[in-house]
Amino acid sequence: MGDTLENINPKLYKKINEREITVEDEDEDIVDEFDTREIFDLIRNINDPEHPLSLIEIDNKANKVCVKFTPTIPHCSMATLIGLSIRVQLLRVLPPRFKVSVEITPGTHMLEAAVNKQLADKERVAAALENNHLLEVINQCIGIKC
């Protein structure tokens, strides 16, 4: 991350309440499919923009998860890194059958199409994750603050 803040006055969102655990959640016999809240919880603590996530679509039958994130400002240079961190986190924690797509919320970034194309190219994502320096930065972003 740079020395100076790119967005000195980010829009702050109210932190969502912790998920309440119900009796059903603890019952091992109940098939518990992934839901949007669960995906949200998996990525909500990724560092930098406080709560960039505005839309999550999940289709358990089709094994699809689509996350649309909103960069804090339309020229945010960290958009690719944030998207990559979301993608990496979901690749690591979800079963491999899921097709994960991460995109910028339409109309919220100047390089939306270019960033989306790069995030969707699994070959370039794979190559990026073999770069130790980049991997370290991503791990720092994903690392949950205690």
Partner 1 sequence: MYIVEMGILELKQTLNGHRGRVWNVCWHPNGTCLASCGEDKTIIIWGQQDPKWVVKTILTEGHTRTIREIAWSPCGNYIASASFDSTTAVWDNKSGQFECNATLEGHENEVKSVSWSCSGQLLATCSRDKSVWIWEVNDDEYECAAVINAHTQDVKKVRWHPNEEVVASTSYDNTVKIFKEDPGDNDWSCIATLSSHTSTVWSLAWNKEGNQIATCSDDQTVKIWQEYKPDNEPGIVTPNNESVWKCVCTITGYHTRTIYDIDWCKTTGLLVTACGDDIIRIFKEDSDSDPHQLSFTMVCSMDTAHTQDVNCVQWHPTIPGQLASASDDGSVKIWFYNE
What is the smallest separation between the CB atom of 96 and partner 1, expressed in angstroms? 6
Tokens linked to 51: 């709560």
Query: Is 50 among the residues that bind partner 1 (CB under 8 A)?
Result: no
Q: What residue spans of 45-131 are helical by DSSP H?
A: 79-93, 112-120, 122-129
**Nearest alpha carbon to residue 65 among 87, 32, 41, 92:** 87
Query: Is 97 among the residues that bind partner 1 (CB under 8 A)?
Result: yes
Tokens linked to 3: 């020395």
Query: Is 37 among the residues that bind partner 1 (CB under 8 A)?
Result: no
Chain residues 99-138 in contact with partner 1, contact rule CB under 8 A:
99, 117, 120-124, 126-127, 130
Q: How far apart are CA 112 and CA 127, in angstroms?
A: 21
What is the smallest separation between the CB atom of 123 and partner 1, expressed in angstroms? 7
Pick between residue 11 and residue 122 the one whose CB is nearest to partner 1.
122
